[in-house]
Amino acid sequence: MSHNYHLGVLLGDAIGPEIVPVAVRAVDAAMEAAGAGKVEWEQLPLGFEAIEKFGEHTPMSTLKALEATDGWLLGPHDSASYPEPLRSTLNPSGTIRKHFGLFANIRPARSFPGQDCVKPGTDLVIVRENTEGFYADRNTFRGTGEMMPTPDMAIMHGIITREGSRRIAVEAFTLAEQRRKHVTIVHKANVLRMTTGLFRDVAREVAKDFPDVTVDDFHIDAMTTHLVRRAPDFDVIVTENMFGDILSDLSGELAGSLGIAPSLNSSADRAMAQASHGSAPDIAGRDIANPIAMIGSAAMLLRWLGSKHDDTAVARAGDLIDRAVEATVTSGTSTPDMGGASTCSGFGEALVDQIGSLV
C-alpha cells in the first residue's frame, strides 16, 4: 500500500522562489510515475517573506508547523541582506538545524557523464557534522560561541564532542558500506590537536566496527590539494562543520557547478532537503538559476523517507528524479552555469517530460 506524505516547503530568498517550485513539480511527477503515494505540500514563511509578516526570519509558527511534517524542502536564504539586528542572529538554516538537531549534512558531488567540468568522474559524498565544530553561531545551548570584548578584539570558540563525532562517523561509515567502501577523515590535528584530534580519533575508533570499509585521513589544507588533483579517487569524506562547508563548495564546483550540488540535513527522525549553494542574489529574478541542486536534494529526501518508512515506491521516485536529471542534461538541456542556454523553469519542464518518458 502506498504511503502518503506531508512535506513542508520553505521558498527562501533570491533564487529560492525560482528553484524550489521546480523541485516540488519534479517530486509530484516522480511520485506519480513511480506509483508512490501523494504528497500534501504545506508552504511556510521563512526569510524576507517572514520578516515582512512576523518581524523574524524563522518564526516559531514555521518551526511548529514543520514539527508536524514528514520532512521539508528549504530554499536558500540571503541572510547577509537581512536588516539588523536579524542579520546578526543565527541564520534560518542554522536555526532550523539547531531546533531539530539535524546533525548530519550529507553533500554528494557527482559529475554528469559527458558534461564538461574540472574533475570528470567525481563521485564523492561529504558527510559534514552540522551542530558543533567551529561555527560559533550554533555550537552553544544559549548565546553564541563568539564575543567581542572590545571593538578591536573578537574571540570565538569551537566545540567538538565525542558523541557528536561518533554519530557523524557512524553516518559516514554506514554510507560508505553502500558505496565504494572508503572513508577519508578530514581534520587539522597537527594544530587543533585536542578538538579535531578528538574528531579524528573517534572516527578511527568507529572505523573498527566497519571492517569492510578502508579508511585514511588528511589535514584540511592538504585535503584541498588532493581534491583539486584527484577528486575522483575519493568516496566518503567525513569532517567537522566548517571544514565540511568549505570542502563541499570546492567539490561541488570540481564536479560541475555549485548549482548541481545537493544536500540533505538529517537526524534519526527528521530530514530537510537543502541545496549546498547559497541564494545567489547576483542572478536572482532572471530565471537562469540552476535548479539541479535543489531537485537532487528533494530526491535525497525521498530516498530518506523510503528507508525510514520502508517504502520502496518513494525511494524509487527519488532514483527516478536523479536518472531524469542526468538524462535531461545528457540530452543537451542545462542552465548557463553548465554551459547551456536553458532557463530554470525550462529545465523543470524538460525534466517532467523526461520523468514521464523514463517510466
Residue 32 · residue 53 · CB < 8 Å: no
Alpha carbon separation from 115 to 126, 201, 289, 327 (Å, rounded): 21, 38, 18, 12
Residue 330 · residue 254 · CB < 8 Å: no
Cβ neighbours around 27 below 10 Å, total: 26
Q: Report the residue number whose CB is nearest to ligand ATP.
A: 278
Options 249, 311, 322, 337, the catalytic residue:
249
258 binds ligand ATP (CB under 6 A): yes
- Please identify, among the stretches 97-105, 204-212, 282-290, 311-319, the one whose residues bind ligand ATP according to the rule CB under 6 A: 282-290
Q: Phi and psi (nearest 5°) for 290?
A: -85, 120
Q: What distance in Å separates the CA atoms of residue 173 and residue 45, rounded to the nearest whole number?
A: 36
* Of 152, 216, 282, 310, the one binding ligand ATP by CB under 6 A: 282
- In the residue annotation, 245 being an active-site residue is answered as yes
Number of residues interacting with ligand ATP: please give it, by CB under 6 A: 13
- In the residue annotation, 116 being an active-site residue is answered as no
* Of 247, 280, 315, 317, the one binding ligand ATP by CB under 6 A: 280
* Of 259, 262, 296, 348, the one binding ligand ATP by CB under 6 A: 259
283 binds ligand ATP (CB under 6 A): yes
Q: Compare residues 322 and 337 and give the one whose CB is closer to ligand ATP.
A: 337
- How many residues would you count in the chain? 359
- In the residue annotation, 82 being an active-site residue is answered as no
Q: What distance in Å separates the CA atoms of residue 275 and residue 120, rounded to the nearest whole number?
A: 21
Options 13, 70, 188, 235, the catalytic residue:
188
Residue 296 · residue 257 · CB < 8 Å: no
In the block, cell 535548479 appears at 291
How far apart are CB 129 and ligand ATP at their closest, in Å? 17
Alpha carbon separation from 280 to 46, 74, 89 (Å, rounded): 17, 15, 20
- Please identify, among the stretches 1-9, 48-56, 147-155, 286-294, the one whose residues bind ligand ATP according to the rule CB under 6 A: 286-294
21 binds ligand ATP (CB under 6 A): no
- Alpha-carbon torsion (20, 45, 5, 275), positive or negative: positive
- In the residue annotation, 28 being an active-site residue is answered as no
Binding site for ligand ATP (CB under 6 A): 15, 258-259, 277-280, 282-283, 289-290, 293, 337
The catalytic site residues sit at 135, 188, 221, 245, 249
